[in-house]
Structure 1
Amino acid sequence: MYMPASLFRKLAVKIPLATSLKTYRWELFHSDVFAGIITAILLIPQGMAYALLAGLPVQVGIYTSLLPAIAYVLFGTSRVLSVGPVSIAAIMVASALSSPEIMEYGTPIQNAMILALEGGLILCLMSLLNMGNLVHYISQPVLSGFTSGAAVIILISQIPHMIGLHVQPCNTIENCVTQIPTNINVHEMGLGLLAFSLLIIMGTPLSKLLIYFNLKKSLRTALTKSAPLLSVISGTLLVTLYSLQNTQGVDIVGSIPQGMPEVSFSFLEISTEHALVLLPSAIFISLIAYVESVAIAKVMASARGEKISPNQELVALGTANLASSISGGMPVAGGFSRTMVNYSAGAQTQIAMLIAVTLIAVVLHSLTHTLEYIPTAALAAIIIVAVTPLVKLKSIFQIWHQDKADGFSQAITFIGVLALGIEEGIILGVVATVFNYLKRAGKPHLAVVGRIKNTNHYRNINRHNVETWKHLLLIRIDENITFANINYIAEFIEKEQKNYDAKTIVLIFSSVSYVDTTAVSTFKEMIAGLRLTGTIIHLSEVRGPVFDKLKKMDFFNDLLPGRVFFQTNEAVTNVTKTLN
């Protein structure tokens, strides 16, 4: 069927998959099929594990891997991003569901669906408001500190499950410690450590061995990334063969409903109060999910020479979360490990994710009885191995060494997440970042400069061997001038005027692209005060927008007899003639 070019272009903007299909070549299909199979192999056990991490039945993790992935395939701009349940979102959901005020309303599954719904609506609303660039307003140190803190919380929560530790509630540390030897299920520990060992061995060690034997990259990916499936299969076989759930009390996944999830809106029958109590958590989860997803998508796009649209990603992730909410799922985001697997396995387009979704649907329809016997210790091991690389304590010290303000933001976020909670930790980190920004903005870099001999270049007198002149002071302002820093700048100018006994000061505005009204008013007062002492102020290299602003505020009349020079060298030439 013929489609007009103009209509196709409009469709391609809203549904990027249309562009992929238009240029799709059948020789790419083999790569997409292979990548889809490998991604599904990882996604099934990982999805189940993340559902348990969120405090939800394992089938929720599988449901979350179906419709949301299809929604992202339709609307997403990344060709390899794998959207579904992720560890960070799961721990945030767990934190929300365990709070006393939320536990009073609805069931965990219902609340998880509402979180996905509210998060989806928030992201779609942000798209309508063209807020795609919001990703730039959460600094990397804060995001890194949050991720490390959340990963530590995940590890602390999952290690007892992997080693079969079932400690009863205790009032003292001594009471907890004395329970440990008698409350470890050694059979669960064995299954957990078996899964953990397989995951470790089939990671870097196996990859290096396969590289030594010159195996193709696609085969290496297939073998190493099948580790979660192999660890689950081995544990399930042992449980089934020896009935460990009955004879040794080994925890297993348990009954899983067979068949596809039903699309339902019944969870919407809630009170306004119920919806509002979940809203703050939904805001945090959706924002972090978006920031993480876009960051991953950008890395992948850069590696493939492609581009993504941050605002379109809001649409894609918003609809993915809405799809999750009506199909019994939880909040979703782009997963780094799955995306890397999808990419490494050779995925060319989002057709690979459609293949993965198809395989997951087949498993749900036919193999749910087998999944019931998966030991939870094996799923805990999968989570532990997946999130351990997210703990980057070394990064905190490195950032601190490079930039103490950023290091402080990262450290305070990390500590805040551990000590106060996930949402509180993020808020603390953002507040610390804003404080550091205001502190920096309040004390901009200012330099007394001179001319490098036999050139027209002017540089900091403390860094270069430069030429200076008696009674002439050149000051370069390396920041926009606002109410936050104008007093600091004025004090610096007045101090240096006294130090150099300057009769003429040239302020170099080459790095100034904005001045506010408070700054202009303060400048006028400073110029008038210096004029009374016989000191004249000139400006040089004033940018167009700043010049227009100063003109509107009638600044140049107050500057007289000072002038505005096009270049600093022009100012120096004219002033030195006057001084001589």
Structure 2
Amino acid sequence: WSWQTIVVGVSFLVFLLTSRHISMKRPKLFWVSAAAPLTSVILSTILVLCFKLKTHKISIIGYLPKGLNPPSANMLSFSGPDLALAIKTGIVTGILSLTEGIAVGRTFAALKNYQVDGNKEMMAIGLMNMAGSCSSCYVTTGSFSRSAVNYNAGAQTAVSNIIMATAVLVTLLFLMPLFYYTPNVILGAIIVTAVIGLIDYQAAYRLWKVDKLDFLACMCSFFGVLFISVPSGLGIAVGVSVFKILLHVTRPNTLIMGNIRGTKVYQCLGRYKETSRVPSFLILAIESPIYFANSTYLQERILRWIREEEDWIKANNEGTLKCVILDMTAVTAIDTSGIDLVCELRKMLEKRSFQLVLANPVGSVMEKLHQSKTLDSFGLNGIYLTVGEAVADISALWKSQP
């Protein structure tokens, strides 16, 4: 790098950004932004050629051979010591290429309000690489920088790819010597200008406000792609996302619920100011399926809720706790470990003279509880359609007892 390189790069970057701004402010002048990259390449090449700035340490592209890649179909082989390595590399690069291609496609689809079919993208990338492998091509996918440049130039349909491919073919066959004096910094300025318009600051701020883990995955992916590589950035983002999923699965949310005064509606105590505790009842809502991965945590969390409720009752001189109601509206699935959790929890609470009640288990959960004969141990007063029905019926039963 040198000061001449910085001056040339910054100057053309300002020119490209200005042309982009003009086209955005005045849509009729869309051609200004479309012609700016080509104009920058031509002007910078002429500038270097006329003033021989190569001697002033401005890096240029240099010699580029003309012609197409040689055919490589005859090199295809299914034997040899490198076959296993080729298979492993092919699987990894295939997954990364497909991931990158779909990610790029969805980015531009969101900008233009259309949908991307993942199956068609997979077929296109597969056929593209099969054809490319017969002509010594590099692994091909949805190029982020090329797509950004294409989008920034005003391309609207797939015909732009045909025109671009034709232009690349003509350039490879006849025009390669003309790029000898083109500065490398101009290519970087074109890509930077195209990519700047794709950075959605508002979306990142929204992720920060809504979900910190989503924001962490976004930042890891951004800086991974920026400072390492696209595969590394995608891998880091996938790792953070998998960690988030595991965290939600193994640490499901549980809420303590209360009654909204004057109604039969029960909601989270901390979410609504109008809610209040129901005397002698502890109403808990589980907001996830119950699997082997979270059954132990749920048991510990429910018992902790009970201890905290007993401490609150003692501190406020309220009546004794008699019944624990589990609102299972959000429990969409349950496995054998979850069923064992329900059975063990019922036995533990019975030893402490507490009644365990299930409210609104959904169809699939109800079927598994019935098949495991867990419902038999609860009896008629152990399962209700709603929390309100459970509170009303059990309260009436207590009043009828001497």
Change in 2 beyond 3 A, CA 1:229/1:192:
farther
- Would you say the 8 A contact 2:284–2:326 is kept in 1? yes
Q: Which residue of 2 aligns with 1:314?
A: 122
SS of the aligned residue for 1:528 comes to helix
C-alpha deviations, 1:108-167, integer Å up to 9, x for none?
xxxxxxxxxxxxxxxxxxxxxxxxxxxxxxxxxxxxxxxxxxxxxxxxxxxxxxx3xxxx
1:520 aligned residue (327, 339, 342): 339
2:361 aligned residue (496, 519, 542): 542
More divergent stretch after superposition (380-389 vs 254-263): 380-389
Q: Which residue of 1 aligns with 2:43?
A: 234
CA apart distance, 1:520: 0.9
Structure 2 residues not aligned, in runs of 5+: 311-319
C-alpha deviations, 1:197-219, integer Å up to 9, x for none?
2132222x23444566x460xx3
Q: Give the TM-score of the pair, scaled to structure 1.
A: 0.58
CA apart distance, 1:264: 2.7
Aligned residues: 388
- Would you say the 8 A contact 2:281–2:322 is kept in 1? yes
- Would you say the 8 A contact 1:476–1:509 is kept in 2? yes
Q: Aligned pair 1:574/2:393, yes or no?
A: yes
Structure 1 segment 460-475 matched on structure 2, within 5 A: 460-464=268-272, 465-475=274-284
More divergent stretch after superposition (553-562 vs 307-316): 553-562
Letter in 1 for 2:133: S
CA apart distance, 1:362: 2.3
Q: Which residue of 1 aligns with 2:288?
A: 479
2:15 aligned residue (171, 187, 201): 201
Letter in 2 for 1:482: Y
Partner Cα distance (1:393, 1:277) in 2: 41
Structure 1 residues not aligned, in runs of 5+: 1-162, 164-183
- Would you say the 8 A contact 2:149–2:194 is kept in 1? no
Change in 2 beyond 3 A, CA 1:417/1:191:
closer
C-alpha deviations, 1:528-555, integer Å up to 9, x for none?
1212322222212111111122222222
Q: Which residue of 2 aligns with 1:152?
A: none
Partner Cα distance (1:558, 1:408) in 2: 46
- Would you say the 8 A contact 1:199–1:227 is kept in 2? no
- Would you say the 8 A contact 1:400–1:407 is kept in 2? yes
> Percent identity, aligned pairs only?
27
Partner Cα distance (2:89, 2:230) in 1: 10
1:257 aligned residue (51, 60, 65): 65
- Would you say the 8 A contact 1:503–1:536 is kept in 2? yes
Q: Give the TM-score of the pair, scaled to structure 2.
A: 0.80
Partner Cα distance (1:368, 1:420) in 2: 30
Change in 2 beyond 3 A, CA 1:259/1:192:
farther
SS of the aligned residue for 1:202 comes to helix
- Would you say the 8 A contact 1:417–1:426 is kept in 2? yes
- Would you say the 8 A contact 1:191–1:235 is kept in 2? no
Partner Cα distance (1:435, 1:304) in 2: 32
CA apart distance, 1:511: 0.6
2:246 aligned residue (421, 430, 438): 438
SS of the aligned residue for 2:275 comes to coil
CA apart distance, 1:191: 5.3
Q: Which residue of 2 aligns with 1:551?
A: 370
Partner Cα distance (2:381, 2:110) in 1: 50
- Would you say the 8 A contact 1:250–1:375 is kept in 2? yes
Partner Cα distance (2:111, 2:196) in 1: 24
- Would you say the 8 A contact 2:148–2:195 is kept in 1? no
CA apart distance, 1:458: 1.0
Change in 2 beyond 3 A, CA 1:478/1:339:
same
SS of the aligned residue for 2:115 comes to coil
CA apart distance, 1:348: 4.8
Change in 2 beyond 3 A, CA 1:272/1:401:
farther
- Would you say the 8 A contact 1:445–1:477 is kept in 2? yes
Change in 2 beyond 3 A, CA 1:270/1:198:
farther
SS of the aligned residue for 2:82 comes to helix
C-alpha deviations, 1:384-408, integer Å up to 9, x for none?
5556778899988875665443445
- Would you say the 8 A contact 1:450–1:466 is kept in 2? yes
Specify the structure having the higher radius of gyration (Cα): 2
Partner Cα distance (1:192, 1:396) in 2: 30
- Would you say the 8 A contact 2:59–2:183 is kept in 1? yes
